[in-house]
Amino acid sequence: MLNFNYSIPTKIFFGKEQIQSLIGQINQYGTRILLVYGGGSIKKIGLYNKVVTLLKENNLPYWELPGIDPNPRIESVRKGIALCRENQINFVLAIGGGSTIDCAKLIAAGFFYPKDPWDLMIGTAKFEKALPLGTILTLAATGSEMDPIAVISNPEINQKIGTGHPTMAPKFSILDPTYTFSVPKSQTAAGTADIMSHALESFFSGIRSAYLQSRMSEAILKTCIKYGPIAMVEPENYEARANLMWASSLAINGLLSYGKERKWSAHPIEHELSAYYDITHGVGLAIITPHWMEYVLDDSTVDVFKDYGVNVWGLNPELEAYEIARQAIEKTKAFFVSLGLPTTLSAVNISEEKLELMANAATKHGPLGEFRPINAHDVLQILKASL
Ligand code: NZQ
Ligand code: ZN
């Protein structure tokens, strides 16, 4: 197991009516609030009203940045920073899914950077501090509610970049599974695939000695396999929504990847698909992941696939290792299909045209992953196989 420093500073308020913790938490950090939210789902479910009523009752002035798009844009971040500066904002509250939270994170950090916040994403400027941020999560998927990562798109130059810094970790997150009852089937499916992908990226690691973390990854995967389908057919099943929500946070907050390298494979490929075609993150992952698995299965990796097949999918350990691996990959694909997710790029209107461009872009900082490192040529083969 590699050395690691444990630090997961976000306080979690989990469960029904945990919104009652909101004001007490905000009071610890700020007095002038920027509300960041998406296209209106929080109004439909009555959450917006709840929050503004609480803020008004407690004489906390607030300003609003609505309309954050899925695959949030750098333009929204710029707008949010300007609002914060004009109104002496000292606390940012994100209400929504990963896109809203990521956007809020970069607003919080960009507030202290005098030039264009995109510099922070591409690494030409350093993160130093950030406004305190809290979140109210409405979609179980990215884990942004408990990690220090922001993923932001710059559509003008077809770039989607993820970057992390401890200052962007939310101070607190309110996780009330009932807020996810309204998540439509398509996003429930995509979110489940995203959580699974986070667990898989850590599970299929070059470091084989972090046994405990691998078993925890399996637990997250089994949770998604059990509860994803239930949430699809019973959107108001509290047990299913609660388990998915907590899985979302645990899959990427560090617990699964501590002691392993954190070089991922499917994610950087998917980010290029979203950068060029603006597709839903979890959908892209569901398409790429089984093809990536097929591509990296060889003598050096088959044992890990065997663990995956036996421990996650309950396959017979007596079978030959390659047979287990192949069946496990098939089961992964079939599971995504059962959630109504597409299995090919053509199903989301992606043709061969930009595959090479995307393969090069995904690997511009070097090969992906350490489980079985893949270069631009490999990524191109995976993309072609996914067509
Ligand atoms: O905009 P609204 O109206 O809120 O609707 C959203 C949006 O259309 C809707 N939604 C959210 N909660 C809902 C709801 N609809 C009904 N009821 C609710 N309770 O769902 C749609 C998608 O929302 P979005 O925030 O885009 O989804 P998600 O949480 O999957 O976030 C995806 C973004 O996060 C990034 C992805 O790349 C993508 O940009 N990621 C962030 C990560 C991180 N910060 O750690 C890691 C991930 O791997 C990922 O890359
Ligand atoms: Zn993801």
Report the alpha-carbon distance of residue 75 to residue 324 in Å, rounded.
47
pLDDT tens-digit map of 198-221: 999 999 999 999 999 999 999 999
Report the alpha-carbon distance of residue 85 to residue 283 in Å, rounded.
36
What is the CB < 6 Å shell around ligand 1? 38-42, 45, 70-71, 96-100, 102, 138-139, 141-144, 147, 149-151, 162, 179-180, 182-183, 187, 191, 194, 252, 267, 281-282
pLDDT tens-digit map of 104-163: 999 999 999 999 999 999 999 999 999 999 999 999 999 999 999 999 999 999 999 999
Helix pair angle (266-277, 355-362), 10° resolution: 130
Report the alpha-carbon distance of residue 363 to residue 383 in Å, rounded.
13
For residues 331 and 313, the answer to whether their CB atoms sit within 8 Å is: yes
pLDDT of residue 31 exceeding 90, the answer is: yes
For residues 153 and 71, the answer to whether their CB atoms sit within 8 Å is: yes
20: amino acid identity, one letter: Q
Instruction: Summarize the confidence of residues 301-329 as an average pLDDT.
Output: 98
Q: What is the distance in A from the centroid of ligand 1 to the CA of 87? A: 27
Which of 37, 41, 262 gets mutated to test ligand 1 (max ligand atoms within 8 A of its CB)? Answer: 41
Give CA separation, 122 vs 74, 81, 157, 163, 164, in Å. Answer: 12, 18, 12, 8, 11
Please state, rounded to an integer, the average pLDDT across all residues of the chain: 98
What is the pLDDT, as a whole number, of residue 362? Answer: 97
- The domain segmentation of the chain, as residue ranges, is 11-179, 184-386
Ligand 1 atom with minimal separation from the 70 CA: 26
46: amino acid identity, one letter: G
Where does the pLDDT of residue 307 fall: very low under 50, low under 70, confident under 90, or very high at 90 and above?
Answer: very high
Of the chain, the end-to-end C-alpha distance in Å amounts to: 37
Q: Choose among 370, 303, 292, 296: nearest CA to 332.
A: 292
CA-angle at 241, arms to 55 and 179, nearest 5°: 20
What is the pLDDT, as a whole number, of residue 272? Answer: 97
Count of CA atoms in the C-beta half-sphere (13 A) of 336 = 26
What is the pLDDT, as a whole number, of residue 353? Answer: 97
Tokens 């904002």 — which residue?
Answer: 89
What is the pLDDT, as a whole number, of residue 320? Answer: 98
Q: What CATH fold (topology level) applies to the domain 11-179?
A: Rossmann fold (3.40.50)
Where does the pLDDT of residue 262 fall: very low under 50, low under 70, confident under 90, or very high at 90 and above?
Answer: confident
**Domain 184-386 class?**
mainly alpha
Report residue 251: phi and psi, to 5°: -70, -20
Q: Which residues make Cβ contacts (< 8 Å) with residue 146, sequence separation at least 6?
A: 8, 10, 12, 169, 170, 173, 249, 250, 252, 253
pLDDT of residue 297 exceeding 90, the answer is: yes
304: amino acid identity, one letter: V
